[in-house]
Amino acid sequence: MTPDPLPQAVPATPSMSTGAARSGPAWLIGAAIVLLALNLRSAVGSVGVVLDPIRADLGMSATVAGVLTTLPVLCFALFGATTARVVRALGLDRTAAALLVVAGVGLGLRPVFDSSIAFLALTVVALAGCAVGNVVLPALAKEHFPDRLPLISSLYGAALMGGAMLGSVLTVPIADAFGGWRIGLGAWAVLAAAALLPWLPSAARDGRAGRLDRPRGPTLLRLARSPLAWACAVFFGLQSAQAYAQFGWFPAILVDAGLESGHAGLMQGLIPAVGIPVTLLLPGLIRRTGDRPVLPWVFAIVTSAGWLGVLLAPAAAPWLWAVMLGIGGCAFTWVLTMFGRRTATAAGTAGLSAFAQSVGYLVAGLGPFGTGVLHDLTGSWDVPVVVLMCAALLLGPVGTLVARDRTLEDELD
């Protein structure tokens, strides 16, 4: 018996310029992509704000709660790497529809059971759908909007940030209005169902294409020999480590500096709130800068300056440090855009996306984990903040490698 082949990158149709026409009106596909992105962080952002009542009702230990908060990066890395086989079997648009079904099932059922194990298992189901969505988003943009990559990337990047913010902001009010955390969490399955509707026509058309008609892209093993793929993976890992460290520890740093917990929570919410409008400005900024590495250096310097402010005077101007970190967080959308700009086909885009995100999310776990370990070892936030500040500066040189004008396919050839 021959071993299973290595995972393949997500295939593309031969004609990239006709994707929107093949799958439906451009406005409908664009709306479908944005709605898909809006769902990919609800499974993450909605849990933390109701974690205490979840633990009380399910008898969840601190250890199990720690596993729950670590699941996103682990699932994003694991299931992101296995996305290609799903798309090879279903096609790109049908995969988008299927992942919304899977995510919706996980989101809708996990509040139903009175078991920590069932809650964890169904959270994994929801995150599996989100992980596949993370990988296929850049490929969907390349497939349907090859000439408008910065625009569509900025729109779905803003939707990703908006989804995380909505999950954090709306879950508690929904829970309070309708009788508890179970309704607050389960309500996000409705958003997944709504996002599924515009994908149904294109998924039906995608299903008519034969599996053998879908060309293969580069394997993950072959991508591992690409300097560009590794540059994208390291950049993605660095910016994700920053984001998850901020999500996990920024409020705690401010509280220890003397802020009230409510004020600290608002400052954390300001980070993605700032990132949304700045992300929408990225298409114009990318047009102006072209292949020059101006933007990654801006992200590096602004993020590092934000951490420097946190280090020297955390309580003096927390809103300013949050704004700086929010601007720096737009490195996320920039690198997703680069997945499309540094590849010639949707197959190459998805292969690069799968490799960079699988490796990158493993690196991302070091952000919150390492920050906590350094704090415990030193008894202070100074050392972990300095490490985060130095790590942010690495976005500049690594981003310079990503920004170089060449394509993955040319490099592999």
The per-residue pLDDT for range 281-312, each reduced to its tens digit, is 999 999 899 889 999 999 999 999 999 999 99
Instruction: Categorize the per-residue pLDDT at 2 as very low, low, confident or very high, splitting at 50, 70 and 90.
Output: very low
Sign of the Cα pseudo-torsion (239, 242, 246, 248, in order): positive
Rounded Cα gap, residues 63 and 266, in angstroms: 27
pLDDT of 394 higher than 70: yes
Asked if residue 11 lies in contact with residue 216, where contact means CB atoms within 8 angstroms, the answer is yes
Looking up tokens 């729109």 gives 155
Q: What is the pTM (predicted TM-score) of this model? A: 0.83
pLDDT of 211 higher than 60: no
Rounded Cα gap, residues 300 and 389, in angstroms: 9
pLDDT of 262 higher than 80: no
Q: What pLDDT was estimated at residue 9?
A: 41
pLDDT of 16 higher than 50: no
77 Cβ neighbours under 8 A, 6+ residues apart: 131, 357, 358, 359, 360, 361, 362
Residues 363-390 have pLDDT tens digits of 888 888 888 888 889 989 999 999 999 9
Asked if residue 136 lies in contact with residue 99, where contact means CB atoms within 8 angstroms, the answer is yes
What mean pLDDT is reported for the chain?
86
Residue count of the chain: 413
Looking up tokens 């560009």 gives 228
Q: What pLDDT was estimated at residue 73?
A: 86
Higher pLDDT, 286 or 61: 286
Q: Which amino acid is at 178?
A: F
Say how many CA atoms lie within 13 Å of 334 toward its Cβ: 36
pLDDT of 93 higher than 60: yes
Instruction: List the structure tokens of 368.
Output: 């919150």
